[in-house]
Structure 1
Amino acid sequence: MSQSNSTNMEIESSDVIRLIQQFLKENNLLNSLAALQEETTVTLNTVDSIEAFSSEILRGNWDNVLRVVSQLRIPEKKLMDLYEQIVIELVELREIGTARTLLRQTTPTQLLRDQFPDRYLHLEQILSRSHFDPKDAYPNGISKEKRRQIIAQALSSEVTVVNPSRLLTLLGQALKFQEQQGMLPPDSAYDLFRGTVSVEQAEMDDVPTKCYNTIKFPKKQHAESMAFSPNGQMLVTGSTDGFIEVWNYLTAKLRKDLKYQAEDNLMSMEDAVLCLNFSKDSEMLASGAQDGKIKVWKVQTGQCLRRYSPAHQGGVTSVCFSPDGTQILSASFDLTVRLHGLKSGKLLKEFRGHTSYVNYASFSLDGTQVVSSSSDGTIRIWDFKTASCLSSFTPHDGTGTIAGAAGLTVNSCFPYPKPNQIVACLKAPAAYLLNMDGNVIRKFSSPENATDLASDTQPAGESGAKKDGQVVPMTDYSAAGLSPQAEILYCLAENGQLHCFYAATGKHIQTLAAADGEVISMVTHPLTNVIAVNTLDGRVLLWKA
């Protein structure tokens, strides 16, 4: 579990409204601005320049002043003072008709009449006289210039000036902060409206040869399972202490843009998390634990949507969503594969027949069948609707049985992106491309004397490489995966070496030391040439081309 400190900062909703109002004003969306101000009763109360606003008042440019004031929220008393002065100056200019209209038909002057009848009567008297007398208009020795100065000072105190494009600036600063904190991939295209990062598919598949970052877990803890989201934006790990964490796979930092993670309120199981899998839309995450329980989560909120307690009588070795996202398929140490309803939370089907641990189960490419692989050395094909076993076979290369005869475990078996083809990874120095009848199409196995390691400075390990001039035995594979466009098959050996093959031909491309210790598994990114390898000593090594 990661540690973090968070600071809560209160933001007033009225300030957010003002930011939107400024955006509308700067983009000349004045009708929208007026509607927003009327509906929310929140006004912007900003001017481009306080000095310019004050200068307009001091010069008596009342048309401009009233145009600005109409968009502001000014206290009634100050508005009364303003309109009183304008009426006086209109009379001085002998604009009697305009002065009379302003006095008798505007809200501030009507308030003046109701609250200060003596002042209102004084204006009526000025209007009725045949000549203008400054001493009568401005009693107590106050001049027109002095009155303008007082009004300018009073109104200027009610307005503020903000930097242009404030809303866009704040959004940009927020995104920059998230990038610095590892919440967003650097230099990425960000969809502000949807709150997502668009990830473009790599133009061509390539072998990852650079370990660019590492996630480190606390002592005596390690990631037991991992999964990339289908949209490519999240790497999720499930650890031996039961915690499930969402990472930025580029920066190897915890995603603190997820509120529950920022508050250290992580998704968690009661036992070690053995498997993880996303729904097709990347919105939900299924997790299976050592104690046989399964939970389904809403990733954006960390909310547990469904619990299956227990789903199996033994540890859950794999989970996946049905193609329509309404069911959960799981495999277990209890020798079964089961199908669970997401809405009902009930067990819907059970697939029985394996005689040892079921290590992996998935749907066929068309979703009509279930494929499972087991430590009993077999792969079974099941009818999804009836749960009946259609076929059972052991992977072999045509010269005899490879898995069954030797009792070899089939670690995983997953669809190859061609109809009726699957990839099987054995606990052996071999993987196979098979059809659904069990016939081998292609075998993937490194040359016995493979020496083309990615770096001479990295440990060569034992998988068919030379060590101190001696050829040592090949090491069994623990996991396999396909590149984004399925052109390359990756097979991870137990000693940390990654064997890379062309999927179309089976030709060995390269062997690189992906880890210098015992590994658990690996996952491949769905869109880019990135691979994550988790190790027993508490690291997740991130590789890219």
Structure 2
Amino acid sequence: MEIESSDVIRLIQQFLKENNLLNSLAALQEETTVALNTVDSVEAFSSEILQGNWDNVLRIVSQLKIPEKKLMDLYEQIVIELVELREIGTARTLLRQTKPTQLLRDQYPDRYIHLESVLSRSHFDPKVAYPNGVPKEKRRQIIAQSLSSEVTVVAPSRLLTLLGQSLKFQEQQGMLPPDSAFDLFRGTVPVIQAETDDVPTKCYNTIKFPKKQHAECVVFSPNGQYLVTGSMDGFIEIWNYLTAKLRKDLKYQAEDNLMAMESAVLCLGFSKDSEMLASGAQDGKIKVWKVQTGQCLRRYSPAHNGGVTSVCFSPDGTQVLSTSFDMTVRVHGLKSGKMLKEFRGHTSYVNHASFSSDGTKILSSSSDGTVKIWDFKTTSCLQTITPHDGTGTMAGVSGLTVNSCVPFPRPNQILVCMKSPTAYLLTMEGEPIRKFTSPESLTEGTTKDLTATSAGVDANKKDSVGVPLTDFLAVSLSPQAEIVYCLSENRQIHSFHSDTGKHVKSIPVGDGEVIGMASHPLSNVLAVYTVDGRVLLWKA
């Protein structure tokens, strides 16, 4: 779809006219030679001509661009009628000092001489003034029809209406947060406060993948405008999280030219400004994309010797941090395209890594049951933490898989998710602050064999007393970090007060085996993705 520049100018001209900025309107028309040529009503304009209200007609015509021939016909008629009304002075001024009548004199001298003759007569004779037997009313009709064909009618406030529709479309596509203010001049959304924290309890929409396909990872962008999925077939897709539809406002997606990896996409991570997206795949490769265009900015091929389990950008967006099944944590330069640093020390898969709040440390989580804290500059290991509940052990079990460890929005605190029914809030030194335990695991007579769990019991199986496994797969925070969400293997989202550890509510999320969960940074929205090819969208 193409937009004519002249139409844009006309929209601005209408805005100027409606706001009574007539000098600006005239200057713009003269500078661009583009005329607005609109009237409030064609019928009313035609009626003014038919009734001979020439003052109003000339005022309207002065703002229009009318062909010279039609203007000469109009002015000729007005001069004749002024003479009929014996407004001789006005008729003489109009005949001798206006541009249309001067053109009439130059191009049709016989018609001009006729007008001078009518003007000089001592009395008005219609038969002389209106030759060829065409009476005044008929001439008015001809002129009204002729001029009406040159003008159009548009709805009022057309420019503001189109801008409003554009913003509404962008909001529907998820490009703008719902009900947000918008700086039209700068083209930006002002930073808004996150919603008051609440527990999502309603599944309001579902993204469905084709048969035998499913999302391996899901992430929201920091600005809340994008919901991105990485699937087992290698495709990376951006969705409208409100409608659960693919974002067709992104040209490359509208043309079915999706971002893609050569193997299953296991992890995704956004830059702080939400403009870049990193993706890690099962074959050890990493790609960095420009979200607005779908362009691949950088390839690391391979970045690891095993599948990439997590990716994230450095706070300044110049480096990519990654973890892998190859038991390493690595940092890659965005500009150089090379590995810059490697952190070795874990004895099993590294499942996740992130930067500390101040960007000076790296937090890594591993299947070896530890969280390691590294000095980003020197790559030395500063601390190795085996998460526990304060007794020094995990109910007598050590070495449970640590799924993730992320900085909590308070100084020197981290939130740890393990393959157990309890998530932990710890200090950076590993001291326990608070724990968040699944209420099911606390039910009398349902204590399960944690040793069996740590040894790799299937998530769909039950323990010896027939209670489904309640290990947590993922944890996430509400926008204000007042609520901790924990997703368990038995398809429950458990919510806890972050300040007290008190359980708030448990929500069943369906009957499919769950893989993971992502939370919206500004709204009380959770995305839960499952093995049966669904992304379930929940809101408060």
TM-score by length of 2: 0.87
Shift of 1:413: 0.6
Residue 500 of structure 1 corresponds to which residue in structure 2?
495
Candidates 259, 265, 268, aligned match of 1:267: 259
Query: Structure 2 vs 1, CA of residues 365 and 174 (structure 1 numbering), >3 Å: closer, same or farther?
Result: closer
Q: Cα 1:392–1:246, aligned 2, differ >3 Å: closer, same or farther? A: same
1:54 is matched with which residue?
Answer: 46
- Structure 1 counterpart of 2:279, from 278, 287, 296: 287
The 3-state SS of whatever aligns with 2:102 is: helix
Give, in angstroms, the shift of residue 433 of structure 1.
Answer: 1.5
Instruction: Please give the alpha-carbon distance, in whole angstroms, between the structure 2 residues aligned to 1:246 and 1:41.
Output: 44
Where does 1:110-125 land on structure 2 (aligned, <5 Å)? 110-125=102-117
Instruction: Return closer, same or farther for 1:25/1:142 CA change in 2, 3 Å cut-off.
Output: same
**Could you say if the C-alpha distance between residues 439 and 528 of structure 1 is closer, same or farther in structure 2, counting changes exceeding 3 Å?**
same
Aligned-partner Cα distance in 1 for 2:114–2:335 = 77
The aligned counterpart of 1:208 is 200
Is 1:135 the counterpart of 2:130? The answer is no
Alignment check: 8 A CA contact 1:183 1:254 kept:
no
- 2:451 is matched with which residue? none
1:140-289 alignment to 2 at 5 Å? 140-170=132-162, 188-189=179-180, 191=182, 193=184, 194=187, 201-203=194-196, 205-289=197-281
Q: Does 1:536 align with 2:515?
A: no
* Residue aligning to 2:315: 323
Partner Cα distance (2:198, 2:79) in 1: 79
Name the CA distance, whole Å, in 2 between partners of 1:209 and 1:266: 32
Distance across 1 between alignment mates of 2:464 and 2:342: 52
Q: Which runs of 5+ in 1 are unaligned?
A: 1-8, 453-461
The alpha carbon displacement at 1:69 in A equals: 0.4
**2:334 maps to what in 1?**
342
**Equivalent position of 1:491 in the other structure:** 486
Shift of 1:540: 1.1
The alpha carbon displacement at 1:437 in A equals: 1.6
8 Å CA contact 1:442–1:505 kept in 2: the answer is yes
User: How far off is 1:299 after superposition?
Assistant: 2.5
Deviation of 1:449 (Å)? 5.0
Deviation at 1:448, TM superposition (A): 5.4
How far apart in 1 are the matches of 2:68 and 2:208? 63
CA distance in structure 2 between the aligned counterparts of 1:141 and 1:500, rounded to whole angstroms = 92
**CA drift at 1:199:** 6.7
RMSD: 3.3
- In the alignment, the residues of structure 2 paired with residue 319 and residue 36 of structure 1 have an alpha-carbon distance, to the nearest angstrom, of 53
How many pairs were matched up?
524
Hey, what does 1:408 align to over in structure 2?
400
Give the distance between the partners of 1:374 and 1:469, measured in 2 at CA: 28
CA, structure 1 residues 125+447, in 2 after alignment: closer, same or farther (shift >3 Å)? Answer: closer
Read off the aligned partner of 2:227 and give its amino acid letter: L
**Could you tell which deviates more after superposition, 356-365 or 242-251?**
242-251
Q: How does 1:8-27 map to 2 (within 5 A)?
A: 9-27=1-19
Gap change, CA 1:342 and 1:130, over 3 Å in 2:
farther
Whole-angstrom CA distance in 2 between matches of 1:271 and 1:380? 29
2:470 to 468, 471, 475: 475
Q: Which letter maps to 1:526?
A: P
Q: Could you say which residue in structure 2 is the equivalent of 1:526?
A: 521
Q: Distance in 2 between matches of 1:213 and 1:189?
A: 21
- Give the secondary structure class of the aligned counterpart of 2:131: coil
Conservation of the 8 A alpha-carbon contact between 1:290 and 1:315: yes
Conserved in 2, the CA contact under 8 Å of 1:329 and 1:340? yes
How far the C-alpha of 1:153 sits from its partner, in A, is 1.8
- The answer to whether the 8 A contact 2:468-2:490 is kept is no
- On the 8 A contact 1:403/1:426 being kept in 2, the answer is no
Amino acid at match of 1:534: Y
Matched letter for residue 517 of structure 1: G
2:63 aligns to what?
71
CA distance in 1, matches of 2:100, 2:383: 89
Task: Tell me how far apart the structure 2 counterparts of residues 375 and 186 of structure 1 sit (CA, whole Å).
Answer: 37
Counterpart Cα distance in 2 of 1:274 and 1:39? 58
Q: Which runs of 5+ in 2 are unaligned?
A: 445-456
Cα distance change on mapping 1:475 and 1:429 into 2, 3 Å: same
The Cα offsets for residues 277-296 of structure 1, whole Å up to 9 and x where unpaired, read as 22223333222222222223
Question: 2:78 is matched by which residue type in structure 1?
Answer: I
- Find the counterpart in structure 2 of residue 395 from structure 1: 387
CA drift at 1:313: 2.9
Cα deviation 1:409-466 (Å, max 9, x = unaligned): 21111001111111111122332222112222223322455569xxxxxxxxx999xx
Describe the SS at the equivalent of 1:118. helix
Contact 1:96 1:127 (8 Å CA) reproduced: yes
